[in-house]
Structures are given as C-alpha cells and as structure tokens.
Amino acid sequence: MRQITHVIYDLDGTLLDTEPLYRLATQEILDRYGAALTVELRASMIGRPTPVAARILVETTGIPMSPEAFAVERDARLVSLFRTAQPTRGALELTSHLRARGVAQAVATSSMRHSLEAKRVSRPEWFATFDAIVTSEDVLHGKPAPDIFLEAARRIGATPEACLVFEDAPLGVEAALAAGMAVVALPEAGHEGLVGGAHQILAHLGEFDPHPWGLPGFVR
C-alpha cells in the first residue's frame, strides 16, 4: 500500500448516512407516476452533481417532469430530511482520530452549496473540523472527472499520490482513480461489483485500519 499523508472523503454515503434520505425523497416523487428507483438507476446517478443526476432519472424513467422541476421538488423535501442525517458507522471515530494526530482531511462532495449547508445543520461542529470542503460548484467537471479530488488535494497542500480517498459511489471511485489517488470503496448493497478498481473495499469506515497506509494507527 502507498504511504499516505492526506485523506479526502466523499460526503453522502461515506461520512454522512444520507443515501436512504435521497432514496426516500426520490421514490416519493416516482410513486406518483408508478416508476421505480432501481439499483441500476441508482448506480448511474449516485455521485453525480444534482443537475446531471436529475436529467438521468427523468430520461430513464420517462416521468412527465423536467429535470429542473424534479430537482427543485426533491431538494425541498431533502432540506427537512437532512436535519435527521447521522454520521456513517465509524466516521466520527476515524476523522477525530486522524485530526488529533495532525492528518489533513478534506471533503469532496458532488453536493451543491445549498445542499451542503442543509447537511451541516445536523453536525456543525464536526463539519468545522475538516481542513477543506469542495463542492460540485467549485470545479468545472463533476465526478467521474477527477477535478473535485484534485481541487481538494490542492487546498490541503497534497500531491495526488499522497492522498487516500474514501468513496461509496462507483463514479466517485472512478474519479479518484483518474486523479491518481488511492481509493477505499464503501459500496452500498448491490454496487459491490462496480467498485472493483478500488485499492480496498470495506463495508464501513469502522473497518478501516490506518496503519498499513502509513497513517497513525488506533491504540487498541
């Protein structure tokens, strides 16, 4: 394994357990038209900026809404749902451990800024501990392009080779690999076969052992 000095996290489904909330808000809209959010459709959407994901959903399902109208309605529902979002298993422990030992950490999220602000409400103190947070609006190209991870690395003063990325989305894994970074994948159920290019695949952050990567290990 590479010797890692900097860490970058995706947000949704990696640090914050928001994916069930996205599924709920999306399916509530699709139910009106008898459409379903399939595993395949989810895989094609997850990790993409909202405008792109909304277009994919509307084109795939054929629901009589514009992508813009779908995004507006879903985002309005998500604002209230995000207040209930909790950290994923092991997220608080790992990020606190690395911060206490001086490891720079960034978040690279496909969220738009207004969505990020809604998610911060659940854990403002935690979000304030990251050295940088990059959104889809801070770069020209969203995932699976490498831009967002390269910008995160730049903001925390790291070379791509020194960065380890944690990602749950297949497109995010693809983006991190394109950036020349090491990747630990945390796929949701049904997506395990789509992240085979990752350097390591885990069920959740609580399974991660920093030591083999050259990061400070936990004292057991």
pLDDT, tens digit, 9 for 90 and up, residues 145-165: 999 999 999 999 999 999 999
C-alpha R_g of the chain: 17
Catalytic residue among 10, 131, 138, 209: 10
The reported pTM is 0.90
- Structure confidence at residue 188 (pLDDT): 87
- Structure confidence at residue 20 (pLDDT): 93
Which secondary-structure segment (H or E) carries 52? helix 50-61
- Structure confidence at residue 43 (pLDDT): 87
31, with CB counted inside 10 A (0-12, 13-18, 19+), is exposed
User: Where do runs of H (alpha helix) occur along 101-144?
Assistant: 113-120, 124-127
Phi, psi of 219 (to 5 degrees): -90, 110
Catalytic, 10? Answer: yes
Catalytic, 12? Answer: yes
Closest CA to 5 of 172, 127, 162: 162
Tokens of 170: 């297949």
Q: 19-82: which CATH topology? A: DNA polymerase; domain 1 (1.10.150)
Where are the domain boundaries for CATH 1.10.150.240 in the chain? 19-82
In whole angstroms, what is the distance from residue 18 CA to residue 119 CA?
9
pLDDT in tens, the chain (220 residues): 789 999 999 999 999 999 999 999 999 999 999 999 998 899 899 888 899 999 999 999 999 999 999 999 999 999 999 989 999 999 999 999 999 999 999 999 999 998 999 999 989 999 999 999 999 999 999 999 999 999 999 999 999 999 999 999 999 999 999 999 999 999 988 788 889 999 999 999 999 999 999 999 997 6
Give the length of the chain: 220
Residue 200, classed as helix, strand or coil, is: strand
- Give CA angle at 16 (120, 48), nearest 5°: 95
- Structure confidence at residue 220 (pLDDT): 61
CATH code, 6-17+87-213: 3.40.50.1000
Where are the domain boundaries for CATH 3.40.50.1000 in the chain? 6-17+87-213
Judge whether 25 and 182 are in contact, CB under 8 Å.
Answer: no
- Structure confidence at residue 175 (pLDDT): 97
- Structure confidence at residue 2 (pLDDT): 81
Residue 163, classed as helix, strand or coil, is: strand
Catalytic residue among 12, 138, 168, 209: 12
